[in-house]
C-alpha cells in the first residue's frame, strides 16, 4: 500500500509539473485545494508568500507553489548557512532561501519527481541563482551525509510520506549539532483518529496522512531533536490545521 500511495503522490505532482511547464496550470485550483488534491476550501499555494518574496523569484516558481505555508519566513536563515528543502517542487523555497543565505551559503532541494526537478532547475536558471543544487531522492532516505546541513525546511510534504518516522530520523541525521528544523505542514488535533483524518480529505490532498500534534512532538523527540514547537496557523478542515513545526538538534 505504501508504494501505491507514493506512486500516486508522484503521479499527481508530475502531472502538476507538466501542466505548469506547458503554461496550462497545475491541473487543479492550486489556490484552494490541498497540495493540488481534491479537498476544496483549504488555503494552499502562492498566497502564503508576501508580494516582495514573489517578486524575487520567477513566475514559474511562484505558480508551482502547492504548499500550506511559507517555511522560509519562519526558518530565520542566516548568511552562509547550508539549507535543505524536503520536497522542493518547483523550487520557490529553494530560491528564496538561496537569496537569504547569500553566495557563501548553499541550498539543496530534494524531490522524487523528475518533472518537478526539471521545472525547478529551469526556474533557478531564469532566476540566475547559482548556489542551489537539486537532488533526486526520497525524503525517507536523504542523499546527503550525516551532519551536513544547518537548516531543514519543508512545505506541506512530510504529511505525504508513507514512513514519517524515517523522515524524522533522516532530518535529525543530516542536521549539524545546533542545527534546526523549520517547516510548514498539515497537522491534526489530537482528538482525531486516523480514520477520522481520512474522512476529511485524501492522502495526496495532504489531509489523510497528517500527523497529530502529539505524534509530531513525540516523533521529533524520538528522532533526537529538542525544543519542539507545533503552532497552528490556519484551519484546513475540521480538526486539521496548517502549522509551523520547529525543533533543534542538540549541540
| pLDDT tens figures, 186-197 | 999 999 998 998
pLDDT at residue 200 in the model: 83
Span 98-108, average pLDDT: 96
Min mean pLDDT across 57-66, 107-116, 170-179 is at 57-66
- Residue 205: give its domain's CATH number: 3.40.50.150
Q: Nearest-CA neighbor of 20 among 52, 51, 65, 71?
A: 65
Q: What is the pTM of this model?
A: 0.86
Percent of the chain with pLDDT over 90: 57
For residue 235, the enclosing domain spans 2-248
Where is pLDDT greater, at 100 or 27? Answer: 100
CA 126 to chain centre: 22
pLDDT at residue 153 in the model: 97
Residue 123 has pLDDT above 50, yes or no: yes
- How far is 79 from 181, CA to CA, in rounded Å? 17
Question: HEC profile for 14-80?
Answer: HHHHHHHHHCCCCCCCCCCEHHHCCCECCCCCHHHCCHHHHHCCCHHHHHCCCCCCCHHHHCCCCCC
Min mean pLDDT across 36-40, 44-48, 66-70 is at 36-40
Residue 11 has pLDDT above 90, yes or no: no
pLDDT at residue 27 in the model: 53
Domain count, the chain: 1
Percent of the chain with pLDDT over 70: 77
Residue 162 has pLDDT above 50, yes or no: yes
Q: Note whether 223 and 172 are within 8 A (CB).
A: yes
Amino acid at each position: 500500500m505504501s508504494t501505491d500511495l507514493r506512486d500516486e503522490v508522484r503521479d499527481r505532482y508530475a502531472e502538476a509539473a507538466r501542466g505548469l511547464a506547458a503554461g496550462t496550470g497545475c491541473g487543479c485550483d492550486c489556490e484552494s485545494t490541498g497540495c493540488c488534491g481534491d479537498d476544496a476550501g483549504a488555503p494552499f499555494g502562492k498566497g502564503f508568500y508576501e508580494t516582495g518574496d514573489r517578486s524575487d523569484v520567477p513566475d514559474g516558481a511562484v505558480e508551482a507553489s502547492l504548499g500550506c505555508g511559507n517555511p522560509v519566513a519562519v526558518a530565520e536563515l542566516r548568511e552562509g548557512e547550508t539549507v535543505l528543502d524536503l520536497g522542493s517542487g518547483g523550487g520557490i523555497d529553494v530560491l528564496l532561501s538561496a537569496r537569504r543565505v547569500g553566495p557563501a551559503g548553499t541550498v539543496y532541494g530534494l524531490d522524487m519527481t523528475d518533472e518537478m526537478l526539471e521545472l525547478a532547475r529551469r526556474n533557478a536558471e531564469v532566476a540566475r541563482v547559482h548556489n542551489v543544487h537539486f537532488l533526486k531522492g526520497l525524503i525517507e532516505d536523504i542523499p546527503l551525509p550525516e551532519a551536513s546541513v544547518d537548516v531543514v525546511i519543508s512545505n506541506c510534504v512530510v504529511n505525504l510520506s508513507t514512513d514519517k518516522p524515517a523522515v524524522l530520523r533522516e532530518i535529525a541525521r543530516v542536521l549539524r549539532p545546533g542545527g534546526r528544523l523549520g517547516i510548514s505542514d498539515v497537522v491534526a488535533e489530537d482528538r482525531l483518529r486516523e480514520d477520522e483524518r481520512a474522512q476529511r480529505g485524501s492522502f495526496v490532498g495532504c489531509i489523510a496522512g497528517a500527523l497529530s500534534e502529539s505524534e509530531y512532538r513525540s516523533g521529533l523527540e524520538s528522532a533526537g531533536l529538542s525544543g519542539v514547537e507545533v503552532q497552528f496557523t490556519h484551519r484546513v478542515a475540521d480538526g486539521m490545521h496548517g502549522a509551523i513545526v520547529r525543533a533543534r538538534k542538540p549541540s
